[in-house]
Amino acid sequence: MNPIEQQLREAVGKFKQDQVFRFWDELDGGGRERLLGDLSQVDFSLMNRLVDTWVKNTPKAEPFERIEPVPVIPVVDPARPDAQEALAVGEQALRDGRVGLFLVAGGQGTRLGFDGPKGSYPIGGLTGKTLFQYHAEKIINLQRHYDCVLPWYIMVSQANGPATQSFFETNEYFGLNSDDVYFITQHMVPCVDDQGKFMLEDRDHLAMNPNGHGGCIQAMVEHKVLDDARNRGIDTLCYFQVDNWAVKVADPYFIGYHLQANAEMSSKNHRKHKPREAVGVHCLCDGVYHVIEYSELDIYPQLLETDANGNVVYYAGNPAIHILSVDFVQRVYDNFDQFPWHLAHKKIPFIDEGGQRVAPESPNGYKFETFVFDALRMATHEPVALEIEPPGEYTPTKQFEGDNSVVAARESMTNFWAKWLDASGSSVPRDANGKATIAIEISPLFARTCDEFVAKSAGKTWPVGSDLIVSEDGSVGG
C-alpha cells in the first residue's frame, strides 16, 4: 500500500467513513487513483466538526441580544454633494489602477438546469449574448473610459473550470487581454447523508459540491490573487456574481464611498418590500454587521417585522455585490477556521450499496457551504452599506421563469434600457402598466451608462417601433 493510500485509509477509519472504499476491489488503477484524489482533498476534522454540529445535533441560533437595521447610504442621486465626492474618489481609484474585479462563477447552477457554466448562458434574448460576454463588454468599456487595466479574477469549480476556460478561449476572451483574466479553482467538500456519511456519486468518486462563494477567500489567497493584485498596485477588489446580468461592474460611486470610509468590506443592498422576499438581510447583531440568510429568518422573527405603514423594518436585502480590500481578504483567510458554514438539505444523486445509481426525488443529504457575506462580521472598520434600486443593478437568474429568472431579467433590462432611449429623445412604446412593448439590448461597448448613451445618441433617432439591438458602434441590429 502506498503511503498516501495508507494515510487516507487511516483518516477514513478514524472518522468512520469506511463506506467510501465499498467498491475498492472492483476498481482498476485509474479508479483507485480517482477515489484517492477525491479523499486527499477532504479536511476530515472539519467535516467531522460540521457533521457533529449540523447533522447529528441541531445547531443553536447565535444568541444575539440586540438586532438593529444597518445604517444605509441612500440610493445614489448624482446631484447630491456626498455622491459627487464619492464619484470623484472612485473614479480616481479607477484611473490610478487600484481596482481589480472578482467574479464568483463556481456554482452548480442547478436551478437553471443549463448544460454548461452559468456564465455561458445566452442571457440576451435578442442577441444570444452570454452573461460572460456582457460582463466582459462592461469591463472593456470601463478600461477605455478610465484608461486603466481591470484584472478579472474568476473563481470556478473543478466541475465547471475546464469548460469555462475553453469558453473564454473559443471566444477570444471577448476582446479582453488574456493576461488580465485569471481562473482560480475553489475547494470541494463532500456531501453527506442523513447519518453524516460521505456519499458516493460513482464507485470511484465522492459526491462533492463546491464550498460556496465564501470559498473565494481561500481561493484568492491560495491561488495568489492577492500577490498578483499587490504587484499591480491594486488594493480594492469589486466582487460580483456571474448570474447578475445587470451588475454595475466597478461602480465608481460604490468604490468612492468604500474608500472614503476606509472600509475593509462594503456591500450594496436593496429595499425589501415583503418580509419573506427570498434574500438575505443586512443587519447589525449586537453591533456587528451580519447578513442573515432568508432561510434563517424564522430564527430571528423581528427581521420579519413591518411598521405601521406595512413597510419592512429590516429592509436591506442582499444582492451579493461587495467590495473587499486586499489586506482584509488576507486577514479573513488567516482566521478562516472561524468562518461560519451553512448547510442545505438537497437531492443528491448517489450510488447505493448495490452500486445502482439513484436520482432521489426528495432531499436525501446535505451540502455544506460558506457564504462570502459572513466575512462582514470580521471587518473592524464599519462596512459601508449603499442602497441600490434593482433595475440596472440586480437581475439574478436562478431559473428560467418566475422570480429571479431569465425571463424577469430580460424584462427588467429592457425596461431599464427603455429609459435610456426615452432620455435620448426616442420614446419607447409602453403598455398600460408602463412596460416596454418591444425588447431592447444595448451593447455595453456602446454605452455603459445612461449619460454615455444620451451623449452618443446626439442627432440620432432610434427605431423603437420594433425590437431593438444597439451594437458596439451604434449601428442597429445583430
Q: What is the DSSP letter of 448?
A: S
Stretches 102-110, 126-134, 172-180, 347-355: which one binds ligand UTP (CB under 6 A)?
102-110
User: In angstroms, rounded to a whole number, what is the distance separating the alpha carbons of residues 50 and 40?
Assistant: 18
Stretches 23-31, 239-247, 303-311, 407-415: which one binds ligand UTP (CB under 6 A)?
239-247
> Does residue 251 bind ligand UTP (CB under 6 A)?
no
Q: Closest CB to ligand UTP among 36 and 344?
A: 344
We find the least distance from the C-beta atom of residue 410 to ligand UTP, in angstroms, to be 17
Q: In this chain, which of 38, 137, 204, 243 binds ligand UTP, going by CB under 6 A?
A: 243
Stretches 92-100, 109-117, 329-337, 439-447: which one binds ligand UTP (CB under 6 A)?
109-117
User: In angstroms, rounded to a whole number, what is the distance separating the alpha carbons of residues 234 and 91?
Assistant: 14
User: In angstroms, rounded to a whole number, what is the distance separating the alpha carbons of residues 360 and 334?
Assistant: 39
> Does residue 106 bind ligand UTP (CB under 6 A)?
yes
Site for ligand UTP in 189-228 (CB under 6 A): 210-213, 215
Q: Closest CB to ligand UTP among 75 and 163?
A: 163
Instruction: Spell out the alpha helix ranges (H) of 51-130.
Output: 81-95
Q: Closest CB to ligand UTP among 84 and 108?
A: 108
Q: Closest CB to ligand UTP among 261 and 278?
A: 278
Site for ligand UTP in 438-467 (CB under 6 A): none
Measured over the CA atoms of residue 427, residue 433, residue 439 and residue 445, the dihedral's sign is: positive
Cell representation of residue 145: 473610459
Mode of pairing for the β-strands spanning 265-271 and 316-317: antiparallel
> Does residue 105 bind ligand UTP (CB under 6 A)?
yes
SS3 content of the chain, % helix, strand, coil (to 5): 35, 20, 45
Q: In this chain, which of 50, 55, 93, 104 binds ligand UTP, going by CB under 6 A?
A: 104
User: In angstroms, rounded to a whole number, what is the distance separating the alpha carbons of residues 316 and 324?
Assistant: 19
Q: State whether residue 174 is helix, strand or coil.
A: helix
Q: Closest CB to ligand UTP among 156 and 283?
A: 156
> Does residue 100 bind ligand UTP (CB under 6 A)?
no
User: In angstroms, rounded to a whole number, what is the distance separating the alpha carbons of residues 392 and 280?
Assistant: 20
Of the candidates 248, 250, 243, the one whose C-alpha atom is nearest the C-alpha of residue 123 is 243
Stretches 36-44, 110-118, 248-256, 384-392: which one binds ligand UTP (CB under 6 A)?
110-118
Q: In this chain, which of 86, 181, 217, 242 binds ligand UTP, going by CB under 6 A?
A: 242
User: In angstroms, rounded to a whole number, what is the distance separating the alpha carbons of residues 410 and 396?
Assistant: 11
Inter-axis angle of helices 252-260 and 81-95, nearest 10: 100
We find the least distance from the C-beta atom of residue 240 to ligand UTP, in angstroms, to be 8
For residue 289, what are the CA distances in angstroms to 170, 292, 301, 380? Answer: 42, 10, 18, 10
The site for ligand UTP, by CB under 6 A, has a size of 20
Provide CB contacts within 8 A for 262, sequence distance 6+. Answer: 381
| Number of CB atoms found within 10 A of residue 469's CB | 17
Residue nearest to ligand UTP (CB): 107
> Does residue 383 bind ligand UTP (CB under 6 A)?
no
User: In angstroms, rounded to a whole number, what is the distance separating the alpha carbons of residues 478 and 475?
Assistant: 9
We find the least distance from the C-beta atom of residue 99 to ligand UTP, in angstroms, to be 20
The position carrying cell 427605431 is: 463
We find the least distance from the C-beta atom of residue 369 to ligand UTP, in angstroms, to be 6
We find the least distance from the C-beta atom of residue 318 to ligand UTP, in angstroms, to be 11
We find the least distance from the C-beta atom of residue 173 to ligand UTP, in angstroms, to be 19
Binding mask 143-162 for ligand UTP (x = CB under 6 A): ------------x-------
We find the least distance from the C-beta atom of residue 215 to ligand UTP, in angstroms, to be 6
Q: In this chain, which of 45, 110, 335, 475 binds ligand UTP, going by CB under 6 A?
A: 110
Instruction: Please say whether the beta carbons of 50 and 343 come within 8 A.
Output: yes
Q: In this chain, which of 118, 342, 410, 448 binds ligand UTP, going by CB under 6 A?
A: 118
Give CA torsion, residues 62, 66, 67, 71, to 10 deg.
Answer: -130
Measured over the CA atoms of residue 132, residue 138, residue 140 and residue 146, the dihedral's sign is: negative
Q: In this chain, which of 90, 100, 109, 252 binds ligand UTP, going by CB under 6 A?
A: 109
Q: In this chain, which of 7, 48, 84, 108 binds ligand UTP, going by CB under 6 A?
A: 108
> Does residue 395 bind ligand UTP (CB under 6 A)?
no
Q: Which string of DSSP letters, residue by residue, matches 181-197?
A: EEEEE--EEE-EETTS-
Binding region for ligand UTP (CB under 6 A): 104-111, 118, 155, 186, 210-213, 215, 241-243, 398
